[in-house]
Amino acid sequence: MKIAVAGTGYVGLVAGVCFADKGYDVTCVDVDEKKIAMMKQGISPIYEEGLEELIRKNNAAGNLHFTSAYRQAYRQSDVIFIGVGTPELADGSADLSYIASVSRQIAETVEKDCLVVVKSTVPVGTNDKVEQFIKDFLVNDVKVEVASNPEFLAQGTAVYDTLHAARIIIGTESKEAEQLLMQIYEPFGLPIVSVKRRSAEMIKYACNDFLALKISYMNEIANLCELVGADITDVARGMSYDERIGSRFLNAGIGYGGSCFPKDTKALEYLARYHGYRLQTIEACVAVNERQKTRMFEKARKRMITFRDLKVAVLGLAFKAGTDDMREAPAIDNLNLLLNQGAHVIAYDPKSAEHARMKFPEGNFMKGSITYSDSPKEALENANICFIFTEWPEIKEISPAEFKRVMHTPLVYDGRNLYQPEAMKEAGVEYYSIGR
């Protein structure tokens, strides 16, 4: 079976590589020639544990191909998966221009009956439009049907999540499409939930937004814990034993980021407004998260007279550990504030420093300056203040005594609750965290 995958971002590339690893003949398509050249050499353009190894393995096996020549890739494919981006527009709606572009390419290229499967996160009803759009532009006399197959991988564990998913969601409008998708996923040996297309589209948003709500709820409880003298880690531990609640997504911190939760909460909120309905829970979730991102900066601003000419260590730039993705990362908001206040920032991240350099070029920037270090201890050297924004193991390994020994002023604002307050106090570190 020949499979083509449009887009080599987190969704498209991971899906394509995993399909190839299950023995399918897979061609991944992207417009970026530089990325194509890298992947042909076995180099992954994104950091995900195990991904580069699978690219090299399946490149060598001859069943994984990369190209920018979409006509060659699509014309004889049995199934074409669409995994391109659907970024957020200014009004909160999803930008479907990349979906439309690929759909037209498919319509003008396919030479045999095929199934088009949209893995990208799209508003409910989009797959109906995609199918009609393709039919409107079909060049050859072939049958093309569209199915929904939303992705539920988490960045940082994307390969594992794809190969060991809790379930596969497929949304189809015919038995033929349903059976073909079930056949494709049979080697994965995972539970399959088969529903109609619109239900599949809604499942994706409902899941992501529920998890975002859970994060914002715990952050609200954490903020209240600080006011009443409770400890959010104790509260979360007590909650985790309730099977109705579960133990995941109970960690308080500086809010969510990345390519999914910020975009998907706003997209569902927009969809509701478009249909004359208000999702007040999602509106609150978005508002809480925006405030939470800079909570540690606001705490520090109350403590400090000024940030001007202070050496500020920033540990962690990616929105979460395990990925180099900085999209909607809380570190971005905080770096903007610190640099605008005249701080001299020394930033460290083991994977996303190159992405950070594109957003915040090294040297003088705004009213302050920024440089990047190769280790967290180097960033801490003689620092007046430290902010922790990502829960990388390399950061967790720093002992409380090290902060005291290396920093000019051992003042730490931990947005990920990596340390025990008692241990930091005993080491002589002035320490602030979330909800404790």
Pair of tokens at residue 183: 């056949």
Q: Taking Cα atoms as reference points, which of 403, 312, 395 lies closest to residue 360?
A: 312
Which residues does 211 contact at the CB level (< 8 Å), separation at least 6?
249, 261
Please give the single-letter amino acid code of residue 251. Answer: N
CA pair distance 28, 59, nearest whole angstrom = 12
Positions marked active-site: 260
Strand arrangement of the beta sheet that strand 144-148 belongs to:
64-67, 25-29, 2-6, 79-82, 114-118, 144-148, 168-171, 192-195
Q: What residues does 193 pair with on adjacent strands?
A: 169
3-state secondary structure of 386: strand
Q: Determine whether 230 is exposed, middle or buried from the number of CB atoms within 10 Å of its CB (0-12, 13-18, 19+).
A: middle
Q: Are 7 and 82 in contact (CB under 8 A)?
A: yes
CA pair distance 22, 66, nearest whole angstrom = 17
Read off φ and ψ for residue 83, nearest 5 degrees: -130, 35
* H/E stretch holding 162: helix 158-163
